[in-house]
Amino acid sequence: MGKERGNYQHLGQVIELDLWFTERETDHLTVQWRITETLYRGRSRYQEIVVAESAEFGRMLFLDGIIQTSLRDEFIYHEMLVHVPLSIHPKPEKVLVIGGGDGGTVREVLKHPEVKRVHLVEIDEQVIEVCRKFLPELAAKFDDPRVEIHIADGVEYLKDRRQAYDVILIDSSDPLGPAEGLFTEAFYADASRALKKEGLLAIQSESPFYTPKLVQDIYRALSRHFPWVRLYTASVPTYSTAPWGFMLASRRYLESAGPRRSKPIPATRYYSPEIHKAAFVLPPFIKELLQTDEDGEGVSTA
């Protein structure tokens, strides 16, 4: 599409063009970004892929018209998805990332020197190739010798794994199309079996404010397969005008969701031990949302 903003002559007048990308957050709310240039637009066998330059957030990745990441605030999402579970786990040597074809999650995982192997399972190889070319800031660690890339369906990949991973990170798009199966109870059951005894699962779980029913369903489904489940939040501007949710689940009960290892993580811009602890402090409306039918108890923020 080339340049999307500029001037052209019409009947002797100079008319300025603006292109605004609009994303629907709910049936009654939309969010817009001004796009200055479209760098890539193509369709894989799974979805439409667009990389565009925006005026406010820099380069942005869209899949099927839904924002996935932007250079301005991607560090918030990736750091909180990765460093919370990896700072809790006593020895995260083997990590599985499902989704995350942009590379930001893999990049953050490799900041932990304990990690010996990262398996990235991405269903759409074209996403990886596009991000290598247009989002190298995120995709820079794909060629690290500790990384194995598997082009596969994450749902199918997990079915045959047993006690294989210390940490599993679900870096999925919204629960539509290729990612729909990553939000099911059957998938969470397979994830539990694929984790080692002290294993941790972390997933992006959408907005507790705008998609409360989905967040509630995720929490309840996880609770049927993990004895310890907690929700934590962070503010990711491109994703929502409200706090964004993450779910953390453990194969065993944990006394605290706080970081166990105090060794500094290099080059973080959002995550810190203090932010880690604060992310689990939930407002009452989210605590009420997470009350379960089975026991009637709210989530603990310990």
Q: State the catalytic residues.
A: 171
Instruction: Name the residue type at position 135.
Output: L
190 three-state secondary structure: helix
């301005």: which residue's tokens? 72
The single-letter DSSP state of residue 21 is: E
Task: Collect all residues with Cβ–Cβ distance below 8 Å to 180 and sequence separation of at least 6.
Answer: none
Q: Are strands 94-99 and 165-171 parallel, antiparallel or unpaired?
A: parallel
| 108-147 residues labelled b (16+ CB within 10 A) or e (exposed) | bbbbbeebeebbbbbbbebbbebbbebbebbbebbeeeeb
Burial of 273 (0-12, 13-18, 19+ CB in 10 A): middle
Beta bridge partners of 16: 7
Q: Distance between CA atoms of 292 and 246, rounded to whole angstroms?
A: 18
Instruction: Name the residue type at position 103.
Output: G
Task: Collect all residues with Cβ–Cβ distance below 8 Å to 168 and sequence separation of at least 6.
Answer: 95, 96, 98, 191, 194, 195, 199, 200, 201, 202
